[in-house]
Amino acid sequence: MSTTGPVSRPDPAAAGGGEPTRRPGTVVRPTGTHWGTYLVEGDGQRVVTVHDHPSDPDPSPIGRALTAATECRVAAPAVRRSWLDGGPGTAGERRGSEPFVEITWDRALDLVAGELDRVRRDHGNRAIYGGSYGWGSSGRFHQPSNQIYRFLRLFGGYTDARGTYSASAAETIVPHVLGLGYQAAVAEQTSWSVIAANTELFVSFGGLRVSNAQVTFGGSGPHHTKRWLERCTSTEFVSIAPLADDDAPEVDARWLPIRPGTDTALMAALIHTLVVDGRTDEAFLRTHCHGWDRLRAYLLGQGPTADPAGPTDAAWAAEICGIDAAAIVELARTMAAKRTMISVSLSIQRGDHGEQPYWMAIALAAALGGIGRPGEGVALGFGANGNAGAGQRRKRIPGPPIPPQRPDMPVISVSRVVELLESPGEEFHFDGVTDTFPDIRLVYWVGGNVFHHHQDLNRLRRAWARPETIVVHEPFWTPMARFADVVLPATTPLERNDLGGAETMLVAMGAVLEPQGEARDDYDIFAELAERLGFGGEHHQGRSADQWVHHLYDRFRDDNPSAPAYERFRADGHLVHPDMAVMGERRQVFLEAFRADPDANPLPTPSGRIELWSDVIEGFGYDDCPPHPIWLEPYERLGTAAAERHPLHLVSNQPTARLHSQYDHAEPSRATKVAGREPARLHPDDAAARGIGDGDVIRIFNDRGACLAGAVVSDRLMPGVIQLSTGAWYDPDLGVDGEGDGTCKHGNPNVLTRDKGTSQLAQGPTAHTCLVEVERYEGEPPPVTAFDPPEIIREG
């Protein structure tokens, strides 16, 4: 095993099969991404073009972003100047505003290995936080989270995180209510073919956007959601959301605008209407649910958890959510009269008390009695997960062996990283566990951009100054890299071989580029560090990266004997799993067996039933998450005193032209910018009241921060709402010596959002509970510098 450089390099000239016509001197290789599979044409130094994969009937336009894979790159190992001069802990407050010094790989690896050893020796493994947000690659071997978690666990452990910024509240509450993990529940959802044939009314809370359904964590296969929506010709769609275009245009949904963050109140009123009308399925609630009597008492304004205002009737909810009481009653009665599917997007659980809308939606579906019947019940993940409604589970693709985490290592909710850094020694509560935050001295981050997905970036920036050392692997000069001490340049998926899971396919991901600058694979970086730290053999097991990929494919063949030999697979470019159907075609009904016989097919909950009351959660004693679904006032919303100072609700939804912040520097994302900044939509009434016109640079602000954006005036959102998608690369005004006010010049909405957990149960992010004000920016706005590299000093 060499310790002087990368272990091996894939050959970009080794062409794959099934390629389109290509230019002289180029190769075409398949690549898998979280938003689809493509054929990428490159000449070793640049991506020439990106071809749609012939298997995909509706490819995502985000694929064109791969042409920017060689731009904004980290060229060589780079170290923040103060840290290099003064050592660990020097001038952490200057992260993000200092020059970097380029050094050799050997010196960089010696520095990082020395820091890992020092922190472990002096403070223990608990003082190391291993950060990764695995969207970095859909490849099974090179997925960044696989690499860092494997390395750090072999190293002896680290402070870990659980959950996702996308779905923490759902991931925590669904197992308590249904006994299934959230992703397992998504895999078991009713298939699109069943919905198209049986559903009469499809009510979506939070939208049903096709662009979101084109993304699947771990790799998206051929996209069929749009086709299925077009086949739902006998289904009426109702969209309950603050944005009119959050539902697919193919379904011509009836739009019910709702104040953001009030879905739970509306659902409670719908169930209340069913109760007083005598339209609830009492037999199902008695035989298949636990705790209906106590939830019913709450809805009727009775019992210890009753709302101070009394019953959760339509008039009560109308004051909260802004939907007319008569419309609420009419919707409830229509739901009861038709085969109704209740769909909840991930957006509605990314707010204060985000566990509640998912729990209440399941209760609503249970009250209607449709759970387990074809075309009825509750739909989880539709319009948010590309594989929702697929009718089948994804094929298991082996990954590298990851040792179990040491049981004495702390685990936090992934979105509580600022509290972790701010509050060493303080007690925290998380899904029934009580622990104390360790004193983090070293942050090691591989894959992801915390300055994209975290909330209250000004607070994060202050907390980020506390650790003594921050090490980041990163291909691009993203904010994640700029706020590090040591930046190790990593390859992209286009510079290495891998196995790409793509739902119904397995993709032979192949290199079309040489490593850019001095970039190395994450695996090779960790292999070098493991050698220095004394466990190299245990880490590499005698295999290069390409040999690991070959080995994992052989393991896949052990379970799938019809798969061709590895060399044939790479030449063909992909294989189709013969035992899987086209997405959505196979018949599947969520919880059908449970409905048919709950005694023979109980749910894996304590009661074996749907838990409308949780004795487990009651035992936790959390005052911010009672043991049944309930409306709890969020820390701010429209219609309250907080809206007098900040009268607009910010919706920071997913962008349509990129995945999160990935490839924000590429053409698809840049083409959407207004005045060079992230576009912000506001209603004509709100724009006119502030003298704002299309194309104006605007300042959006609250007590937490401010950002600049480009105004787009639109009637496709309700008055009182402003929409600014997440993902613009953070570009704070830090001034020359850190005296700037932190205004993001580029339009990152997370300078405005609050960093608070949903509750002590899930501790998920609450980005969608956010009030702001907006004004037209006067004078010459500052230039956007998000895509400019930091000042680079070359050592010696």
pLDDT in tens, 676-704: 999 999 999 999 999 999 999 999 999 99
Please tell me the predicted confidence (pLDDT) of residue 375: 98
pTM more than 0.85: yes
* Three-state SS at 617: helix
| Res. 20 pLDDT band, cuts 50 70 90 | confident
Give the C-alpha distances (Å, rounded to integers) separating 416 from 119, 130, 168, 510, 752.
22, 13, 11, 36, 17
Please tell me the predicted confidence (pLDDT) of residue 19: 59
| Paired tokens of 163 | 């959950």
| 705-726 per-position pLDDT tens digit | 999 999 999 999 999 999 999 9
Distance CA 219, CA 704 (A): 36
| Res. 455 pLDDT band, cuts 50 70 90 | very high
What proportions of the chain, in percent to the nearest 5, are helix, strand and coil? Answer: 35, 20, 50
Give the C-alpha distances (Å, rounded to integers) separating 327 from 267, 268, 324, 331, 444.
13, 14, 5, 6, 52
Active-site residue, 553 included: no
Round to the nearest angstrom and report the end-to-end CA distance of the chain. 30
As a residue count, the chain comes to 796
Which member of 129, 135, 228, 553 is catalytic?
A: 135
Q: Count the neighbouring beta carbons within 10 Å of the beta carbon of residue 671.
A: 10
| 586-641 per-position pLDDT tens digit | 999 999 999 999 999 999 999 999 999 999 999 999 999 999 999 999 999 999 99
| Paired tokens of 323 | 């939907």
Please tell me the predicted confidence (pLDDT) of residue 385: 85
Shortest CA distance to 650 belongs to which of 567, 739, 774?
Answer: 774
pLDDT at 456 over 90: yes
What's the rounded mean pLDDT across residues 741-769? 98
| 553-563 per-position pLDDT tens digit | 999 999 999 99
Distance CA 30, CA 221 (A): 12
Give the CA angle between residues 721, 726, 731 to the nearest 5°: 115
Which member of 129, 133, 631, 730 is catalytic?
A: 133
Residue 701 CA from chain centroid, whole number: 25
- For residue 532, report the phi and psi dihedrals to the nearest 5 degrees: -65, -30
pLDDT at 418 over 60: yes
Active-site residue, 523 included: no
